[in-house]
A and B are shown apart, each in its own frame.
Chain A
Amino acid sequence: MECSNKERQNRLIGCCKSRMDLSYRCFVVCILCISIFLSGPTKTDASATWMWLGAASLGAASVGRDTIPDGSLGHQTATQAPPINSILVDPETLCQRFPGLTVEQRRVCSSTPEIINMISEGAKVGIIECQRQFSTERWNCSVIGDVNNPFGEVMNTGNKETAFIYAITSAGVVYAVTRSCSLGNLTECGCATPRGQPSDDVVDDDEEWKWGGCTDDVDYGIKLARKFVDSGDKYSSSSSLSSPSPPPSALSRPLTIKPGVQEMNLHNNEAGRQLIKSGMKTLCRCHGVSASCSLKTCWKAMPSFKEIGDLAKSRYSEGVEVVVRTKKQIRLRRKDRRVRREVIASDELVYMQRSPNYCRTNREIGIVGTTGRECNRTSTGSDSCDLLCCGRGYNTQVIRRVERCDCKFIWCCKVKCRVCETVTDIYTCK
């Protein structure tokens, strides 16, 4: 049953070849695996397929098979997420409906079927935040790929953008899971009891306080996210060099997993989770006669996801370029010789490849390009026509908007408005 555990087409083929002569049983298993593979998308090389759950629930473009869509999320999808109703459907059947989950992920799903909603929600907030953070940049976190690979080849290149996607979606899962624990939507978890003292800036020394309210159980969220998300990026039990890179699967583009990619992805997953943990805030509320604050109850809460996004973006800007050190084990270390000995902190984002410029459409490496993107003529930032259009210049379009304006309330009782027409120029990259 080894090959079914691996659950990847490339492994399957390997299994079939090597065991062709062994037993009929394996042959049946292999056929089964292949049929699963053919019927639904499976795990491809370096992409974390679970992210598809978020992308699909956003109504993302299904595939850019013939044309790469313009990157917006407005397209109706052909591969919508299956309707999730964990109460009515048997867990096994439910989890079978999600293609691309690893065995470990499916196991988590079967034991806690509601979790799949949270994962989907987490991936969604992650992707939305990613798109918000990068809305003015050449790479705008657009969902262009298919179920196998929602972000296209960016997921396989091991650059800063790859690092950001991993971190933000992983943080999204922690966020969504923890949030539903606090809201009581999950039976396995609830509120946590914090230890220690709140910091000085929320509670003075002479004030009376106690832990109360609902502290977000971020540890549970992290634990669960670690179990689910990380299993999507572990390709083999050991990350030693002796395990050969699997051959490319039939559906994905011919890319082999480079040594270190798995370690990089896992590190960035963890960095995303740490962002939430380190961003936890202590909040207090006053009690007493007319809010005299004779007693304070305090609890710990997660930061808003926007704050997490901002933090992740700054980690992205300070991303650490790493190289793979391959002695006994694959390990990452800083590329910069001057700081090589410094340990990579768990909340730093790491990348192995320099990013391309994302200017021109290049289907082979899954770059949409910036042609047609709206730019700001007067800005000097990343959304400026100069930077966004990579020197190609811009086109001008006139947008007419007809709106109701100057509305007045007239006694009694109607509202009278004028119709205003506004004409604005928008600029799009050539």
Chain B
Amino acid sequence: MQTTLMHVILTSLFFLHTCVICGSASKWLAIFNMQALGISTIKSPDNCEELPGLVNKQIQICKRNLEVMDSVSLGANLAIMECQTQFQNRRWNCSTVDGSVFGQVLDNGTREAAFVNAISAAGVAHAVTRGCSSGELEKCGCDRTVGGNSADGFVWAGCSDNVAYGVQFSQTFVDAMERKTRATLERRLMNLHNNEAGRRTIEDNMRMECKCHGVSGSCEMKTCWKSMPTFGDIGQVLKEKFDGATEVQSLKIGSRQQLVPRNADFKPHTSSDLVYLVPSPDFCEEDLKGSLGTHGRRCNKTSKAIDGCELMCCGRGFNTHIEEVIERCSCKFHWCCYVKCRNCHRTVEVHTCK
């Protein structure tokens, strides 16, 4: 246990340092990494200052909320994992590059950057809220505003997720980055909007969970509480929003700069939609802008979608090789009590892009 912790600490420090080197343009990525790997080291307020990539305000938040930082780290992990799940079949697959979480791909205001902003803000909000509900955090607990009898004949009871606290924390912590960065105003507005869209996704998809009480589950009495969607659901909703994201530009309307759709014919975005500033590259070849290219990626021979070999390999064609998979099979239960299986060898065709 001790060694794993040490490992995590060392890796996180390594990551943090490389990310400082990796440039100020993707500075907010450092915070992402810090959340993912560094926060578990925070034991005292001094640790907060050792973490590079944080702006002053975030260091202050860190110092005041030491106990929450574990959840922040967890949230960032959730976000990265979910991003990789949602994008595993796309050319850009949310892979981590050279220490910085997503390389330089996110330096431009693309749809991919929009997604990452949204999912990381949502990840922090989700994890902090979860921390509140599970009682890990002292500063917050269940949502006390939900209670009483409902018109539908059930009682609001149990622990409703205190999503307001999680969202609030995510707002102060994640958005603090954008208020202090040297990026253009347009980009800052984009990031702030997408952060908010990510958090909104949680709020808009809250659901009700209920439990029945009574003789043999007869549901004479029902108690219900509000619960957050699973993070997988959030990832899926955000992926759909990624597909339908709106290309915007910032215009001065009145005295304020605002993001408006670049094409006036298109439907204006709502506060829960994702917005982006520049169209994405095709991510086919490796380049200096951080695209890794799709050489060697696995693809689906029969699919016509983006995971199919035709699109994934950008027309370069693919190689096919046979892989042997060992599976447990013909399992039998023996009295008492163990299960005996045989190892079966199965060959599968694997297609990889040229």
Residues of A within 8 A of B (CB): 356-357, 359, 377, 382, 385-387, 389-391, 393-398, 425, 427, 430
B246 touches which one: A356, A385, A390, A395 (CB < 8 A)?
A395
B246:A394 contact, CB within 8 angstroms = no
Would you mind naming 21 contact pairs between A and B with Cβ atoms under 8 Å apart? A357-B311, A357-B315, A359-B311, A385-B243, A386-B243, A386-B305, A387-B305, A390-B306, A391-B91, A391-B305, A391-B306, A393-B242, A393-B243, A393-B245, A394-B243, A394-B244, A395-B266, A396-B246, A396-B266, A397-B267, A427-B244
CA A425 – CA B268 in complex, angstroms?
12
* A425: chain B residues within 8 A (beta carbon): 267
- Across the interface, which residues of A come within 8 angstroms of B90, CB to CB? 391
B311 A395 Cβ-Cβ under 8 A: no
Chain A CB within 8 A of B310 CB? yes
Once bound together, how far apart are the Cα atoms of A395 and B111, in whole Å?
Answer: 13
State the Cβ distance, B319 to closest chain A Cβ, in Å: 17
Residue B213 at the chain A interface, CB threshold 8 Å: no
In the complex, the answer to whether A397 meets B305 with C-beta atoms within 8 Å is no
11 other contacts beyond A391-B90, A393-B244, A393-B245, with CB at 8 A cut-off?
A: A357-B304, A382-B304, A385-B244, A386-B305, A386-B306, A389-B243, A390-B305, A391-B91, A394-B243, A395-B246, A397-B267
Nearest chain A residue, comparing its CB with the CB of B111:
A393
What 0/1 pattern do residues 232 to 260 of B give for CB contact below 8 A with A?
A: 00000000001111100000000000000
Please tell me if the beta carbons of B243 and A396 are within 8 angstroms of each other in the complex: no
3 cross-chain pairs, A with B, having the tightest CB-CB distances, nearest first: A391-B306, A396-B267, A393-B243
Chain B residues with CB below 8 A from A398, complex form: 267
Spell out B's residues near A (CB within 8 Å). Answer: 90-91, 111, 242-246, 263, 265-267, 279, 304-306, 310-311, 315
B351 to chain A, nearest CB (A): 15
Distance, CA A394 to CA B266, complexed state (A): 10
How long is the Cα–Cα vector from A382 to B304 in the complex, in angstroms?
A: 9
Which residues of B sit under 8 angstroms from A387, Cβ to Cβ? 304-305
Q: A33 to B242, alpha carbons, bound, how many Å?
A: 58
Complex alpha-carbon distance, A35 and B12, angstroms? 78
Contacts of B243 in A (CB 8 A): 385-386, 389, 393-394
Q: Which residues of B contact A393 (CB under 8 A)?
A: 111, 242-245
CA distance A387 to B304 in the complex (A): 7
Residues of A within 8 A of B267 (CB): 396-398, 425
Contacts of A427 in B (CB 8 A): 244
Instruction: Kindly list chain A residues whose C-beta atoms are within 8 Å of the C-beta of B246.
Output: 395-396
Write out the residue numbers on chain A whose beta carbons fall within 8 Å of the beta carbon of B244.
377, 385, 393-396, 427
Which residues of chain A are within 8 angstroms of B111 by Cβ–Cβ distance? 393
Q: Which residue of B lies closest to A425 (CB)?
A: B267
